[in-house]
Amino acid sequence: MPPLLVVFVGFLGILLYLGGLGSPADHMRDMPVAIVNQDEGATVENPDGSSTDQELGKEVTETLVKEVNDSGEFDLQEMSMADAHDALTSGDVYGAIVVPKDFSQRSMDLIPASIGGDGDGAQPTIELVTSPQAGSMSSRLVTEGFTPALESVSSNLGEQLTSGADQQVQARQKAGQKVPDVTTVAQDILKDPVNVDTHAWQDLDGGTALGMGPFYWSIVVLVVGMTGSIAVTTLVDGILGVVPVEMGPSFRKYRTVALSRLAAFFLKWGIMIASSAAAVGLMMLAAHLVNMPMPNGGLLFLISWLSICTISAATLGLLTVGGSAGLILSMIYLIFLGLPSAGAVVPVEALPDFFAWLSKIEPLHYTWLGVRDVLFFSAEPNAGLEQGTWGLFAIMGCSVLVVAVIAPLWDRLSGRRGLIHGTHNAHNVPSTPPETDGPGTAAQGGRLSA
């Protein structure tokens, strides 16, 4: 059993962790991204003397929305600049595409500039705004996901501009005007006119671990809640006489105090609730010493405390219901299933369906949502703090409910822990020495009985 367990744990860890995070681009679906069209258009003089209004920004926006949304990987949403700012502030979108006011004007000015006419030849720009605060990999997914689409936009626009330049050249030649040759550089710019400016919506502060600070904080919270619960269980069970207490060379068996499983659960959980408050306080002191920014420190304390209380309730619940198997069950539930489904490394929208569903029942996901909101999004309730809080309370309530139902049933089926069912002899040792054939054997029996 022990070696098989080691093999199983290693296999399961890689299967779940890399299975959830190994290929995020293959599982992307409806990642929300904003698109803002600020283009004011341009008026273009035709060779025949008439003029035409061009709204290239509108064309680009409509093309991108159709092509990107048809792929199913992103949910590209048209917004005003103010709405896009609010969406980035609350973490509702992972990035934004911004078409500036002079997009059409700069695009059309390339035509006369390339054939020796008016125009400064400045290329039109499209901004690709990322949000590193939303997640460590979201910026990369947005950048890599939209680069081909924006390259296609530039190529299509280049065909229009090249055709327009050819028409201008032909019109001038017919009018007997001398037209300079279009240089190779000008031809290349006309074919690929759009310059993509990729930048972050807001720069990350120092001490935030390049945006991973909320996730690292959540991992520490998870470790404190899980390992603390295991340690409390071991020590409390030892003091209650359920198991021996071994500290280095010391080995001691306390007198058995046969509490019910439910009472033992609430005793251990009460210890965790009280001690976790102090643990969070020292975590914040350590964060201050290493210059980690902690805006909204009071809310950071509360969401961290709530998280440890929830994780300890889940861990102690599994230990109460599963006994020794609860150790493995806790590791599988909280670590092997929790890490890949947290949404911190890979956005939930880029996880396989199974792991995206798991995020709804994993405390690490809700802890990260709340901590990320407090640290990066001004503690706006709709940016994750509200969802994280209610998710943690729901998991905590379910854990307590399961223990309240199953623990008394286990007591009725097998008796209280530390006592063998049907007898009060905890060690199951014969109360009288066995029959012996000689003094030496009898002495050994006496020592065994003692």
Mean pLDDT of 292-311: 96
What pLDDT is attached to residue 288? 94
With 90 as the cut, is the pLDDT of residue 342 above it? yes
Place 337 in a pLDDT band, splitting at 50, 70 and 90.
Answer: very high
Interior angle at CA 340, CA 335 and CA 345, nearest 5: 120
User: To the nearest whole percent, how much of the chain has pLDDT over 70?
Assistant: 88
User: Whole-prediction pTM value?
Assistant: 0.85
Residues 6+ apart with CB under 8 A from 63: 153, 156
Distances in Å between the Cα of 73 and the Cα atoms of 60, 70, 126, 219, 443 are 19, 8, 21, 29, 79
What pLDDT is attached to residue 287? 95
With 80 as the cut, is the pLDDT of residue 202 above it? yes
- 261-289 vs 297-322: helix axis angle to the nearest 10? 150
What pLDDT is attached to residue 292? 94
Mean pLDDT of 402-419: 92
> 264-298: per-residue pLDDT in tens?
999 999 999 999 999 999 999 999 999 999 999 99
- Distance in angstroms (rounded) separating the CA atoms of residues 146 and 163: 26
What pLDDT is attached to residue 42? 87
Tokens of 194: 């759009």
With 80 as the cut, is the pLDDT of residue 301 above it? yes
- 385-414 vs 363-376: helix axis angle to the nearest 10? 150
Which domains does the chain carry?
23-200 (3.40.1710.10), 209-414 (no CATH)
With 90 as the cut, is the pLDDT of residue 432 above it? no
> 97-153: per-residue pLDDT in tens?
999 999 999 988 888 887 766 666 789 999 999 998 888 788 899 999 999 999 999
User: To the nearest whole percent, how much of the chain has pLDDT over 90?
Assistant: 58
What pLDDT is attached to residue 48? 64
What pLDDT is attached to residue 434? 40
Q: Among 136, 142, 243, which residue's Cα sits nearest to residue 196?
A: 142
Tokens of 28: 């992307």
